[in-house]
Amino acid sequence: MLHIIVDETVKEKGVPLASKCSCCTQAQEENALHLFFRSNIANQIWSELSHLLHFRNMEVSVVPEGVTALLERPEINTPAGRLIRCTFMAVLWEIWCSWNRSRLQGQEMSATHIINRTLLSIRAICISFKFQNISQTWLASLHQNTSEKENLKVRSPSIVKWLMPPPGRLKLNVDDAFKITSGEAGGGGILRDHEGNMCWAFTRKYYGLNSSLAAEALALRDGFSICCNKGVTEVLVETDSLNLLQIVTKQISCPWDFACIMQHIAAKSQLLEVKITHTPREANRVADCLANSAASCPHFLIWDCWADLPTIVKEPYQFDKVGYPSIRP
């Protein structure tokens, strides 16, 4: 919350601007406390959910402390407490997403829309994790018909997570990082077994590329090369690049500017039994973090122990290992 780029934060960096919030009928100066807890939109949201959360937004004076106070309630580890925690964090996320759509796409912020999307997310979580002993109050709120309450289009969020391969099989996830403004590029990948344990992982910085797709293809090439060098003969592969999947499986033609990369991938594929599939980016978090870490790694690095991974990779690695999900908007 300390780094939310609202007007107040921008002004603190020395950028002069007229602050005007997107969440009130009569616009006010915008800061994180106002956006999440004090605005007209926030007041309506917290008021309508107060019977579920037992939370008073006007008592929050500092955002991080206010969030921590709710998450540290004694009852937060009970079934009802877990629902409160998930709903509270989902509200903050949906307010932030709505603010971004307002600023970047010109869509008006709507408390009803935010509440509906929040409850859809919580309903998806309850179904995915088979929550038990849900009170009638919560059941009534989660199953209410929201489609007639507003004209805004509401798409139900989905729960996604990294899935372990079948017993005896190995899964390779690869991803890229590409900055179009600077041309910096990197790739990363990780091979894991059916218990989510890391066999090895890598990160590599690439030079002279002009697209994210080329970086993703190089990451796949490097992942295949490591497999061959380490004696892996059969591997399941996941990428969040649908274009790369379609090129590798010859559903679409290969761009001329990285035909050589695809030739290397094809050559390595002949030495491996490979099945490649597409996965949502939310289920490819570890490979994404590895690719992003390439910027600070000038050399091609390969790790054989998860404890040696960069710090930013360890948390998503552990989340995947225990089956922690992500919400896909």
- Predicted confidence at residue 152, as pLDDT, reads 37
Name the pTM for this structure: 0.63
Would the pLDDT of 148 be above 60?
no
Same domain for 181 and 322? yes
Q: pLDDT tens for residues 247-268?
A: 999 999 888 878 899 999 999 9
Q: How far apart are CA 108 and CA 73, in angstroms?
A: 34
Q: pLDDT tens for residues 94-110?
A: 999 999 888 888 889 99
Same domain for 180 and 322? yes
Q: pLDDT tens for residues 56-73?
A: 999 999 988 889 988 888
Residue where one domain finishes, among candidates 156, 185, 220: 156
DSSP state of 301: E
* Residue 271 maps to a domain: yes
How many angstroms separate the Cα of 294 from the Cα of each of 189, 240, 299, 303, 316? 11, 18, 8, 13, 17
* Residue 61 maps to a domain: yes
Q: How far apart are CA 26 and CA 62, in angstroms?
A: 23
- Alpha helices by DSSP H, 106-168: 111-129, 136-142
CATH number at residue 217: 3.30.420.10
* Residue 165 maps to a domain: no
Query: Structure tokens of 10?
Result: 């921008």
- According to DSSP, the β-strands at 234-239 and 198-206 are unpaired
Same domain for 73 and 210? no
Which has more pLDDT, 175 or 146? 175
Give the chain's mean pLDDT.
Answer: 87
Q: Provide Rg for the chain, Cα atoms.
A: 23
- Predicted confidence at residue 155, as pLDDT, reads 54
Structural domain boundaries enclosing 242: 171-328
* Residue 162 maps to a domain: no
162 phi/psi in degrees, rounded to 5: -70, 130
